[in-house]
Chain A
Amino acid sequence: MNTDPSILSIENLSIAYDKDKLAVKNVSATIKKNAITAIMGPSGCGKTTLLRAINRMHELYPNISTEGKIKLYDENIYDMSTIKLRRKVGMVFQRPNPFPTLSIYENVIAGYKLNGINLKRSERDEIVETSLKNVALWEEVKNSLHKKGNFLSGGQQQRLCIARTLAFKPDVILLDEPTSALDPIATAKIEDLLVDLKQNYTIVLVTHNMTQAARISDNSMYMYLGELIEYDETTQIFTNPKHTSTQNYITGRFG
């Protein structure tokens, strides 16, 4: 693997929803800055759990136990406030989920409202415009900013959700299967967007779509039964994976 600077460092992370069953088993990995890292693996292997642990969303489950560390730069995220952490590490979900009662404009700055952060009107305008421009949605919605987002297509809604995440100016964006509910054209637009965004952000992407991981990620992780089996440059994973289990998965010979 190349030696570009890393931003996140996951150290011996184990997570259990119930005492005796580990969903993530002793995973260690460093994540490169300004790169797209894909997490692949069969259903139930722990991708979502690992991804959510990066901004401590997994703590929403009451019985969860977590061991190990995740460092953002040099700071252990488990020593940070979740508010601070989630400003730096944003999350985009599988299904586009704009707030249905809010306008497009309010959706983009919803994070500030929810966290009780007051902004001047001019600041808000500026954040809304840059965030929507960053996701290439500005031209399409600039005349309907104060309408509700429900007239938007699925792909546009997902871009709106990414804009909502970008509005917080995070360092890292986590995406859990962000295109699984989208058609190929909308998917291609999101993929192009992610590749553009990596100039300024670090992206971690859970995907079931292996060709998507191959197309846009720089590094790929393959997880199986909670373990990180293989983690390498994406070209290496897709041309000559080291582990038979990775090879079986990516060539579709799994199970």
Chain B
Amino acid sequence: MRQLEQELTSLRHDVIDMWKLVISQVSNSGEAILSFDKELAQKVSMRERKVDAYELKIDSECENIIALHQPVAIDLRFVLAVFKINSNLERIADFAYGISRMLIANPSVILDAELITNTNVRVMISEVNKMLTQGLDAFENEKSNFAAAIFSEDYQVDEINNNAARIVADYIQKNPDRAFECLQLIAAIRKLERIGDHCSNIAEEIFFYIDAKVLKHASKK
């Protein structure tokens, strides 16, 4: 096999491994919110460093490939897309870590089931998990259409985020003694919303890589 092809294959493996790790970070932190599982949060927190290590490794692989092999056409688009997907994955993992730190720092906070139902946070968590998995599927199979749904899912995640403030404010009025945990929940929802945005960025990169289409800043809805 040609040298460049070997390098591209190993870059592909690394980013896929990182992606799987980030998927488990997000799903564990989501699970930890819903089940108040501090141990799970601890696990997420401990694995954050591993994500950072992947980010550095992938960055330097991209840099070396560009410097040493001057990739063109689909190879160039692949490396550029991976370079950006890498930093989006790292940001996503940061938010998962942020959620886990919040849970660890406030071990006595327990969310009311009614609040969880009303804010739709459960849906939000399952949507971002789905978006991440669809992105990985599209990337692994080189099928951009697998990533097409991500844009509308992001829209749904944004909607849940937009409605959350009103719902939580109403809840606080009725249960003023629970304001603190409500603020925690709002902070977590904001992070999930940001995760959705980064998934949407990743989907754009997938379209760029596979179809050479630039969707950035274009209207997709």
Contacts and interface: CB of A to CB of B under 8 A. Distances in A.
A220 to B, nearest CB: 11
A210 B71 CA distance: 11
Interface string A212-255: 00100000000000000000000000111100000100111100
A248 to B, nearest CB: 9
9 contacts: A210-B72, A214-B72, A238-B72, A239-B73, A239-B77, A241-B73, A250-B73, A251-B75, A253-B5
Given A210-B72, A238-B73, A253-B2, 20 more contacts: A211-B70, A214-B72, A238-B72, A239-B72, A239-B73, A239-B76, A239-B212, A240-B77, A240-B212, A241-B73, A247-B73, A247-B74, A250-B72, A251-B71, A251-B72, A251-B73, A251-B74, A251-B75, A252-B4, A253-B5
A83 B212 CA distance: 47
A214 B70 CA distance: 11
Interface of A: 210-211, 214, 238-241, 247, 250-253
Contacts of B74: 247, 251
Contacts of A252: 2, 4
Contacts of A210: 72
Interface residues of B, number: 12
B109 to A, nearest CB: 51
Contacts of A250: 72-73
Contacts of A241: 73
- 7 pairs of A and B residues whose beta carbons are closest in the complex: A240-B212, A238-B72, A247-B73, A251-B75, A250-B72, A251-B73, A241-B73
Interface in B1-46: 2, 4-5
Nearest to B80: A239
Interface in B68-94: 70-77
Contacts of A251: 4, 71-75
Contacts of B77: 239-240
Contacts of B72: 210, 214, 238-239, 250-251
A67 B165 CA distance: 76
A252 B3 CA distance: 11
Contacts of A240: 73, 77, 212
Considering residues A240, A250, A253, which has the most beta carbons from chain B within 10 angstroms of its beta carbon? A240
B68 to A, nearest CB: 12
Contacts of B2: 252-253
Contacts of A239: 72-73, 76-77, 212
B84 to A, nearest CB: 16
A214 B72 CA distance: 10
Contacts of B76: 238-239
A210 B73 CA distance: 12
B142 to A, nearest CB: 14
